[in-house]
Amino acid sequence: MKTIYLDNSATTKTDEEVVKAMLPYLSQSYGNPSSIYKLGRENRKAIEETRNQVAKALNCETNEIYFTAGGSESDNTAIRGIAHSYQSKGNHIITSKIEHPAVLETCKQLEKEGFEVTYLGVDKNGIVDLAELKKVIKPTTTLITIMFANNEIGTIEPIKEIGEIAKKNNIFFHTDAVQAVGSVKIDVKALNIDALSLSAHKFYGPKGIGALYVRKGVRFDKFIQGGHQERNKRAGTENVPGIVGLGKAIEMAYESLENHNQKIAKLRDYYVEQVEKKIPYIRINGDRENRLPGNSNISFRFIEGEGLLLNLDLKGICASSGSACTSGSLDPSHVLLAIRSTT
């Protein structure tokens, strides 16, 4: 039976060119990058080349990029690292109700540690209210963390405006851009972003490898203790094959971004049009225009989500009813609950 994969928001297939780039570092060039001999130096060079590729994609400096095990680690490192590093200046953090669990759960843990967190509501399309953001800022606010694009409904947030508000008020701004990198052009300087999280498996790279951008001059505590890798910010022997794969994937993504987006958006729009014509009692969730090109989120009335997905699976169709990180939970999507509360 033919498989129809409709769950690229959860993970993408690793591109064959990416796999090809990774292979030598799995078997031939296997040296530890911290070693001084040639086999190790070759791997160190490959890591730094990828650091340059990521920096080029985000328009930042190479020494502002740190490699991690994925988006969740990057989110944890940025939020906890900045919050604790600047705790003497304030303990207030602002985020939104529709963030990825990696952000929400980190914020909840920080609340247990004495931090104050404000969770902003969103409108019916999942857009953060900028007026509310300005209103909740306090003298003790040190960090704003708002996602670039939502992983469930695809809505793209007003990142430029949020960055301007943060800069004007001398507040650090972190964005979980895991769902956006590879689909949206991102200039961290122009957008006043101080920290950004990304993960390779969202743009046809391998799983288990991500990166964190932190603007030079912004202090953050390291998340993993141990050796002195990643400029003493992330201990552990580097995942060289994964890092190389990330570099190849992000380079390929931005080389063909415009053409790819046009093709995917056209397919998405055709799909939505056909669903609206042929299936009654549906609702399209998220902003119709200001959304990721490959995202479509639809609610079907009078049918239970898991039952629908199981029946689709029997037909060879892969889809999800929410974030893959909450798979197995019987609770409804916190994102859909947030946007429904405004209607």
Kindly list the catalytic residues. Answer: 325
User: Number of helices (H) and strands (E), helices first, in the chain?
Assistant: 12, 11
d(C-alpha 160, C-alpha 154), whole Å: 17
Tokens (6 digits) for 278:
């042929």
Q: Which amino acid is at 322?
A: G
Give the 3-state secondary structure of residue 116.
strand
DSSP 278-305: H-SSEEEES-SSSB-TT--EEEETTS-H
d(C-alpha 55, C-alpha 64), whole Å: 8
Any bridge partners for residue 211, and if so which?
A: 67, 198
Q: What residue spans of 59-177 are helical by DSSP H? A: 71-85, 101-112, 130-136, 159-168
d(C-alpha 158, C-alpha 142), whole Å: 20
Give the 3-state secondary structure of residue 60.
coil
d(C-alpha 272, C-alpha 336), whole Å: 18
| Widest Cα–Cα separation across the chain | 66
d(C-alpha 77, C-alpha 100), whole Å: 15
